[in-house]
């Protein structure tokens, strides 16, 4: 069991991908005082209101404290035996691809590592996916297409040093508040201009110098037009293009087809032509430009193309990996990048390797794995469709609730009941219908008890350290996975004494047969003693053997991971909305977050202070749509799609575009009746990344 530490403990925030450093001082009664860590490079002491309220979300009243089989308390031994038997029986009867793991960007890297190793090396399937698929998969795919690897080229300091910050599909002020504070301070200090590109007039847009209220789904048109004008105005970085890239001419011709004139681009994007001209002029005049992009770009049926449209303009102008200049993905969860590092996605192997014969062989030899997976597994939406069809029969869900958050959430709830076997590692006794459907429930460790590492949006690896005892019989996820692996006969490969042991192996794998051709290399951390792991300071990878400091920026001088060493410009498919409005579903639903809640509120919902900001689910409606559909501000409305219905309080606001609605994702059956917005979302996904489109879902609305 973890020993509580009596002194202030440096750890990392449980929520967003900013990855702020936190100092937690336990009060000896199960709570803790929380402060920002002034030494952490992500936040330099700042915290947002969610982070500052972390101390209010501790306590065990809501926790699962004991293992259970079919709802009846049992011992760990019996519970773990049951999980191993569920997996073994399924593999014996139906083969390894009938088993799947569904993981979470809230897991620590060490948890993720052993889950992937077990499934991809020892069970012999790649059916491991994660709720990061709902978050950053389009960015991962876009990075890999352009750079050859999933690499964020820049660091947070570039937000301090930029003269123009473009926020695309990102309500940064609410969703990445500490980065927003950095941007606002840069504005105050050096006059940094801020442009937001967002269908909604958000709080972020209200504070921007320019807001482009783009039509849903048209981001690629905007950036294609920008690429054309960069070329027409002779502002290309021709040396950079010639030395470090391929495919520019095709990408430019493609952009000219997509956005042949400024007027046409403005019309398709639904923005004022003068505003579009201003945006382009500011870009051309400002070498220090950072383009941040987040869920508004990723959660789209053309999300990967949108990412590549942004990367194309940064490559064409050589604005990448330089102080104050680069494309910057703002990740959603604290460990979305750590999961990507160990192969947390079904289409990756481990240490940023893929499923080439060479990578499979390399990882297999390193792991001494008896049953290496030979190809990509099922991505989240496809995984649950396979469960519905009865192809996947055994599932282990760790640290997430697909019945609340996946598209077609009602159908997912039903699908869970079709499984022959469902194991759930969870902290929250009220995890919607997930717990009810489970064969075996395993009580997991929570933030404040967990011990390991996470990687934030700027490639910075930070420690999450425990400062509370594990309550009841709760155990860390990595321990649970290793105990099941031992029961499956893989005791030697999963005989880890601690998270430090797992981390060393993960670091060693990143450096294994890696002579610099793979940028994800943290070999310098492969020999960390336990004490050094405990004391590990935040550090940005790459960190190859012999390196004594992390790497802030990449690609300013090329050095891309594609075999030819070049970045690849990407030709985009014609930008279109893949799901159009219809007579039955005449509006497009956009989903997102509110400032003070996180995911499905399992933690933030415990804080009365955080509930004060928005205390109930709602739907935002433009005044003309409200009049058209007979809706009144403050009354309830039924919002429906072919997949489900929710009932939400109406907020009439001209911050919302005509023909579109906005609803936050946070409320589930555990926190509000009939407000589970996931039940409305279609299963439409990006063809490259597999990321679901939850920003433009055809729906209907009527008074309730």
Binding site for ligand SF4 (CB under 6 A): 13, 15-16, 18-20, 43, 47-48, 50-51, 176-178
Least Cβ distance, residue 612 to ligand SF4 (angstroms): 17
Nearer to ligand SF4 among residue 19 and residue 216 (C-beta): 19
Least Cβ distance, residue 603 to ligand SF4 (angstroms): 11
Helix (H, G, I), strand (E, B) or coil at 513: coil
Interhelix angle 273-285/262-269, rounded to 10 degrees, is 110
**Residue 102: enclosing H or E segment and its boundaries?**
strand 99-103
Least Cβ distance, residue 353 to ligand SF4 (angstroms): 29
Nearer to ligand SF4 among residue 51 and residue 466 (C-beta): 51
* Position with the least CB separation from ligand SF4: 51
Alpha carbons 381 and 475: distance in angstroms, whole number: 29
Alpha carbons 571 and 574: distance in angstroms, whole number: 10
Least Cβ distance, residue 156 to ligand SF4 (angstroms): 11
Nearer to ligand SF4 among residue 52 and residue 442 (C-beta): 52
Other C-beta atoms closer than 10 Å to the C-beta of 418 total 14
Annotate 67-87 with b (16+ C-beta within 10 A) or e (fewer). bbbeeeebebeebbbbbbbbb
Least Cβ distance, residue 13 to ligand SF4 (angstroms): 3
Least Cβ distance, residue 43 to ligand SF4 (angstroms): 6
Least Cβ distance, residue 12 to ligand SF4 (angstroms): 8
Nearer to ligand SF4 among residue 143 and residue 176 (C-beta): 176
Nearer to ligand SF4 among residue 157 and residue 647 (C-beta): 157
Mind giving me the DSSP string for 346-414? Answer: TT--STT--S-HHHHHHHHHHHT-SS---S----HHHHHHHHHTTS--EEEEES--HHHHSSSHHHHHH
For the record, the structure tokens of 515 come out as 């002579």
Least Cβ distance, residue 456 to ligand SF4 (angstroms): 8
**What's the Rg (C-alpha) of the chain?**
24
User: How crowded is the C-beta side of 288, counted as CA atoms within 13 Å?
Assistant: 15
Least Cβ distance, residue 670 to ligand SF4 (angstroms): 21
Nearer to ligand SF4 among residue 21 and residue 326 (C-beta): 21
CA distances from 583 to 222, 567, 660 (A): 28, 44, 14
Least Cβ distance, residue 17 to ligand SF4 (angstroms): 7
The residue whose two tokens read 């009867």 is 93
Nearer to ligand SF4 among residue 57 and residue 154 (C-beta): 57
Phi, psi of 397 (to 5 degrees): -105, 125
Nearer to ligand SF4 among residue 177 and residue 407 (C-beta): 177
Nearer to ligand SF4 among residue 47 and residue 215 (C-beta): 47
Nearer to ligand SF4 among residue 11 and residue 317 (C-beta): 11
| Angle, CA 426 vertex, CA 424 and CA 430 arms, to 5° | 105
For the record, the structure tokens of 52 come out as 């500052």
Q: Is the dihedral of CA 135, 63, 384, 586 positive or negative?
A: negative
For the record, the structure tokens of 490 come out as 């893989």
Q: Before 542, cis peptide (omega within 30)?
A: yes
């Amino acid at each position: 069991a973890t020993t509580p530490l009596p002194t202030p403990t440096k750890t990392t925030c449980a929520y967003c991908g900013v990855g702020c450093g936190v100092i937690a001082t336990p009060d000896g009664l199960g709570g803790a005082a929380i402060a920002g860590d002034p030494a952490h490079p992500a936040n330099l002491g700042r915290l947002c209101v969610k982070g500052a309220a972390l101390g209010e979300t501790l306590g065990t009243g809501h926790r699962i404290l004991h293992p259970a089989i079919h709802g009846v308390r049992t011992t760990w031994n019996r519970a773990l035996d049951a999980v191993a038997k569920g997996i073994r029986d399924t593999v014996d009867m139906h083969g390894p691809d009938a088993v799947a793991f569904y993981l979470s960007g809230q897991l620590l890297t060490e948890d993720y590592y052993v889950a992937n190793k077990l499934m991809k090396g020892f069970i012999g399937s790649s059916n491991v996916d994660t709720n990061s698929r709902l978050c950053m998969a389009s960015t991962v795919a876009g990075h890999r297409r352009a750079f050859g690897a999933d690499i964020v080229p820049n660091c947070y300091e570039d937000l301090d040093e930029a003269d123009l910050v473009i926020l695309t599909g990102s309500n940064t002020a609410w969703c990445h508040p500490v980065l927003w504070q950095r941007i606002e301070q840069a504005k105050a200090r050096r006059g940094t201009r801020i442009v937001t590109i967002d269908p909604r007039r958000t709080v972020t847009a209200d504070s921007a110098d320019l807001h482009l209220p783009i039509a849903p789904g048209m981001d690629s048109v905007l950036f294609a037009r920008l690429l054309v004008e960069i070329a027409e105005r002779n502002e290309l970085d021709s040396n950079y293009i010639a030395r470090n890239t391929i495919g520019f001419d095709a990408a430019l011709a493609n952009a000219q087809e997509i956005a042949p004139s400024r007027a046409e681009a403005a019309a398709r994007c639904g923005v004022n032509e003068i505003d579009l001209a201003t945006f382009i002029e500011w870009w051309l005049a400002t070498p220090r430009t950072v383009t941040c992009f987040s869920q508004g770009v990723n959660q789209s049926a053309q999300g990967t193309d949108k990412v590549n449209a942004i990367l194309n303009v940064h490559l064409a102008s050589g604005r990448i990996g330089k102080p104050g200049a680069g494309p910057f993905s703002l990740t959603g969860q604290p460990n979305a990048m750590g999961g990507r590092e160990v192969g947390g996605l079904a289409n990756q192997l481990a240490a940023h390797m893929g499923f080439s014969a060479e990578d499979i062989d390399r990882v297999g030899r390193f792991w001494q794995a008896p049953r290496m997976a030979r190809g990509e597994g099922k991505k989240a939406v496809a995984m649950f469709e396979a469960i519905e069809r009865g192809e996947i029969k055994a599932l282990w869900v760790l640290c997430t609730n697909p019945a609340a958050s996946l598209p077609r959430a009602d159908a997912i709830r039903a699908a869970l009941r079709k499984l022959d076997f469902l194991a759930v590692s969870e902290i929250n006794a009220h995890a919607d219908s997930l717990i009810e459907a489970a064969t075996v429930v395993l009580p997991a460790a929570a933030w404040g008890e967990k011990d390991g590492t996470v990687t934030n949006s700027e490639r910075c690896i930070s420690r999450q350290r425990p400062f509370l005892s594990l309550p009841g019989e709760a155990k860390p996820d990595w321990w649970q996975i290793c105990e099941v692996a031992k029961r499956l006969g893989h005791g030697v490969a999963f005989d880890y004494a601690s998270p430090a042991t797992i981390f060393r192996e993960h670091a060693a794998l990143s450096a294994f047969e890696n002579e610099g051709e793979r940028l994800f290399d943290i070999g310098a951390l492969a020999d960390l003693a336990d004490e050094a792991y405990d004391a590990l300071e935040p550090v940005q990878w790459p960190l190859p053997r012999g390196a004594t400091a992390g790497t802030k920026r990449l690609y300013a001088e090329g050095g891309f991971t594609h075999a030819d060493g070049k970045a690849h410009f990407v030709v985009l498919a014609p930008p279109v909305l893949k799901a159009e409005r219809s007579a039955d579903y005449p509006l497009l639903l956009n989903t997102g977050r509110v400032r003070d809640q996180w995911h499905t509120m399992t933690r933030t919902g415990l804080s009365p202070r955080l509930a004060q900001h928005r205390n109930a689910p709602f739907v935002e409606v433009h005044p003309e749509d409200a009049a058209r559909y007979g809706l009144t501000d403050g009354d309830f409305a039924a919002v429906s799609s072919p997949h489900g219905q929710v009932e939400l309080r109406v907020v009439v606001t001209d911050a919302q575009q005509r023909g579109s609605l906005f609803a936050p994702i946070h409320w589930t059956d555990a926190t509000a009746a009939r407000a589970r917005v996931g039940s409305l979302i279609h299963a439409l996904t990006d063809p490259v990344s597999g990321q679901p489109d939850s920003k433009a879902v055809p729906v209907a609305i009527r008074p309730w």
